[in-house]
Amino acid sequence: MAERTYLGADELILNMGPQHPSTHGVLRVVLKLDGERILRADCVIGYLHRGIEKIAEYRTYQMFAPYVDRMDYVAAVSNGLGYCLAVEKLLGIEAPPRAQVVRVIMTELNRIASHLLWLGTHALDIGAVTPLFYVMREREEILNIFEAYCGARLTTHAFRIGGLQYDVYEGMEQQVKRFCKMFRPKIDEYEELLTENRIWKDRTIGVGVLTAEDCKAYGVTGPLLRAAGVKWDIRKAQPYSGYDRYEFEIPTRPNGDTYDRYLVRIQEMRQSVRIIEQAIEDIPEGPIMAKVGKVIKPPPGEVYVSIEAPKGELGYYIVSDGSTQPYRVRVRPPSFVNLQALDKMARGGLVADIVAIIGSIDIVLGEVDR
Amino acid sequence: MLTILKKIFFVDLIRGLLVTFRYQHPKNIYTEQYPAERPKIAERYRGAPRLNINPETGETLCIACNLCALACPEQLIVVTSERNEVTKRKELTKFTYDLSRCMFCGLCEDACPVDALELTQDFELASYTREGAIWDRQMLEEGPKPIWYRY
Ligand code: SF4
Ligand code: SF4
């Protein structure tokens, strides 16, 4: 039967956003409701479109690097790493070992920062206000490390093509170690607040289920995929930047609901601390920059490089025509791809759950719209 | 059985509440009293730009090479220069820096061969007009004057 184009007698169209506080930015969701039940959820995006992919065509390779920070602005370091790796592959070079280790430390710290912000806002959406204050406090420590390392807190522009611009600052090792030591008990604290809490459980268990098959069909990656029981992490599957040197596990959960996504991300933070602790122990001596000219002119060709960003697979597809500017840069942002599964997750659920579901995807609108 | 008892006695909620009560202690307060108490800014912080001058002679260090303007992705730096008839060297005449478009990426600072242009630790850059965000050479050399609040 073809879908009706008119509304039934007890059906209702509800417009959620773009200024709704729990859509994490400017996402507009058009909900079709039957009483409290969601029949359909259509996302309307584009309110934050800045044409970053187009900007790339008018910038040299080095100049475009700060722009990628503006896509997923809570995980700017990961974006920068992905872009630098892509251009490095295009050039056929590799960052020196010292640079690689520092990159790993920075990206893992950024993963924790991103997950912390997610945890705080997600819990706030569902009604737990307290974690937000605590996660902000811990995130501040990470941002202080970023500030001391590269001079910016959010849009960091931490890495350069071919290595690093900034070397490790004095006292970084101690600061990072202190952070790791301080942070482990804090994760337990968040868990004490939420994991067993009955309200939290009632609001999240069984909400927004996405099975492994659905995830694969939609191309959903990251914690959502792992919460559905698939052990897939690009850091393990296609190790980059020396991730194969570190010991860590890929946390998975079987059910694929909002609660499992929460647990997966909590576990991921623990694993990130593990990686950082291993990496900070031995930062090899040596140069921090590979041999790259002042003018970057890659040979004609195309590359696709993907990394495991906090939100899923972040890919850069760069086409070079041999000039100093890329011919085309296409970004595969994890949030954008993950967001399309919203309809699937929300259908049949209650309208109150849509906030929890949007929160559990962990979208950043800067990345969805680019 | 145990789970039912736990449910009846609100064990899950009380454990959470214990965490929040632990943070009631005044020594755990984390808020910064910003204007009164200024935050410590890292040395590498990329904030307001400054055009360095030679502290002894008061002359600018900038050699008007235009590299910073070329390196900037937003093309917001304008450097004009003039050839000095006597020394046959390029001399800086005007230097404008449009802060309102700057994203503090630090590429200009990296490009400068003589460390004349530098992004400093000043972070209070608000101004009442758009024109106020466009800094000329004098402003860049003197730097912004931070307001100190007194209570
Ligand atoms: S910091 Fe970046 S955007 Fe600002 S003037 Fe320098 S190069 Fe341009
Ligand atoms: S790069 Fe440095 S020396 Fe050259 S014009 Fe800019 S500020 Fe002056």
Residue B10: inside a domain, yes or no?
no
How far apart are the CA of A33 and the nearest CA of chain B, in angstroms? Answer: 33
Alpha-carbon distance of A162 to A292, in angstroms, equals: 6
- Confirm or reject: Cβ of B105 under 6 Å from ligand 1: yes
pLDDT at residue A1 in the model: 45
Query: Would you say the ipTM is above 0.85?
Result: no
Give the Å distance between the CA of B124 and the centre of ligand 1: 17
Residue B69: inside a domain, yes or no?
yes
Question: Which residue is it, tokens 């991730």?
Answer: A243
pLDDT at residue A2 in the model: 56
Give the tens place of pLDDT for each residue, A295-314: 888 888 888 988 888 888 88
Residue B132: inside a domain, yes or no?
yes
Count CA atoms closer than 13 A to B115's CA, side-chain side. Answer: 2
Cross-strand partners of B117 = B51
Any chain A CB within 8 A of the CB of B101?
no
Range A46-65 average pLDDT: 87
- Confirm or reject: Cβ of B125 under 6 Å from ligand 1: no
Alpha-carbon distance of A45 to A56, in angstroms, equals: 21
Question: Which residue is it, tokens 């719209």?
Answer: A369
Give the tens place of pLDDT for each residue, A31-54: 888 888 888 888 888 888 888 888
Q: How many residues does chain A have?
A: 370
pLDDT at residue A30 in the model: 87
Amino acid identity, position B86: V
| Chain CA centroid to CA A229, Å | 19
- Do B20 and A130 count as a contact with CB atoms less than 8 A apart? yes
Give the tens place of pLDDT for each residue, B82-140: 887 777 777 777 888 888 888 888 888 888 888 888 888 888 788 788 887 888 887 78
Alpha-carbon distance of A337 to A370, in angstroms, equals: 13
| Ligand 2 atom nearest to CA at B115 | 2
Query: Ligand 2 pocket: which of B82, B117, B118 to mutate (most atoms <8 Å of CB)?
Result: B117
- Domain at B93, CATH number: 3.30.70.3270
Q: Are A364 and A68 in contact (CB under 8 A)?
A: no
Q: Which one-letter DSSP state was computed for residue A259?
A: H
How far apart are the CA of A283 and the nearest CA of chain B, in angstroms? Answer: 21
Range A98-107 average pLDDT: 88
Residue B149: inside a domain, yes or no?
no
How far apart are the CA of B56 and the nearest CA of chain A, in angstroms? Answer: 29
CA-closest candidate to residue B87, choices B59, B54, B115: B59
Query: Ligand 2 pocket: which of B50, B52, B62, B141 to mutate (most atoms <8 Å of CB)?
Result: B62
Range A340-360 average pLDDT: 85
Q: Which one-letter DSSP state was computed for residue A332?
A: E
Encoded tokens for B70: 């070329």
A224, pLDDT greater than 80? yes
pLDDT at residue A35 in the model: 80
Residue B128: inside a domain, yes or no?
yes
In this complex, the residue of A66, A148, A192 whose CB is nearest that of residue B73 is A66
Alpha-carbon distance of A218 to A43, in angstroms, equals: 15
Q: Which residues of A touch B104 (CB under 8 A)?
A: 152, 155
| Ligand 1 atom nearest to CA at B46 | 1
Q: Quote the pTM value.
A: 0.85
Which region, left, alpha or beta, applies to residue A39 given φ > 0 means left and ψ of -120 to 50 means alpha? alpha
Which residues of A have a CB under 8 Å from any CB of B?
59, 62-67, 70, 130, 134, 137, 140, 144, 147-152, 155, 157, 165-166, 169, 189, 192-194, 196-198
Give the Å distance between the CA of A73 and the centre of ligand 2: 30
Residue whose CA is closest, atom 3 of ligand 1? B102
Give the tens place of pLDDT for each residue, A110-143: 999 999 998 888 888 888 888 888 888 888 888 8
In this complex, the residue of B16, B41, B119 whose CB is nearest that of residue A197 is B16
Residue B59: inside a domain, yes or no?
yes
Range B13-32 average pLDDT: 75
Q: Which residues of A touch B3 (CB under 8 A)?
A: none
Encoded tokens for B40: 């410590």
How far apart are the CA of A198 and the nearest CA of chain B, in angstroms? Answer: 7
Residue B110: inside a domain, yes or no?
yes
Q: What is the per-residue DSSP string for chain B?
A: -HHHHHHHTTHHHHHHHHHHHHTTSGGG-----TTTSPPPPPTT---SEEE-B-TTT--B------HHHHH-TT--EEEEEEE-TTT--EEEEEEEEEGGG-----HHHHH-TTS-EEE-S------SSSGGGEE-HHHHHH---PPPP--
Pairing of strands A159-160, A163-164: antiparallel
In this complex, the residue of A63, A147, A189 whose CB is nearest that of residue B107 is A63
* Mean pLDDT, all residues of chain A: 85
Interface test with B, best of A154, A166, A196 (most B CBs within 10 A): A196
In this complex, the residue of A59, A65, A197 whose CB is nearest that of residue B12 is A197
In this complex, the residue of A134, A137, A196 whose CB is nearest that of residue B15 is A196
State in Å, rounded, how far the first CA of chain B is from the last one. 60
Domain of residue B90: give its range: 49-142
pLDDT at residue B118 in the model: 84
Question: Which residue is it, tokens 């003039």?
Answer: B82
Residue B41: inside a domain, yes or no?
no
Domain count, chain B: 1
Question: Where do the domains of chain A lie, and which CATH numbers do they carry?
Answer: 49-338+352-369 (1.10.645.10)
